[in-house]
Amino acid sequence: MSAKTLLKSGRLVDPSQGLDEVLDLLLVDGIVASLERTSPPRKMQMSWIALASSCRRG
């Protein structure tokens, strides 16, 4: 059974790709499986930051 994690409406920043967007991110077994554009919430308050530099892109 695979482990799946969906992060909704997160700000994804990847300077190497010139990426700075609000996206939904699907991880399957620790590998990025999908990036989807999403509408940003009306009010956004950052409560934590996750550094995902160790994630592998599938």
Provide the token pair at 18: 């010139």
In a domain, 21, yes or no: yes
| Angle CA 46–3–28, to nearest 5 | 70
Reported as type and span, the H/E element at residue 7 is strand 4-14
Q: At which residue do the structure tokens 């790709």 appear?
A: 17
In a domain, 45, yes or no: no
- Boundaries of domain holding 18: 1-40
Kindly report the pTM of this predicted structure: 0.58
Quick one: average pLDDT of 1-20?
A: 87
Domain count, the chain: 1
Residue 51 contacts residue 25 (beta carbons within 8 Å)? no
Name which residue leads in pLDDT, 54 or 4.
Answer: 4
In a domain, 2, yes or no: yes
Check residue 7 and give its pLDDT.
Answer: 87
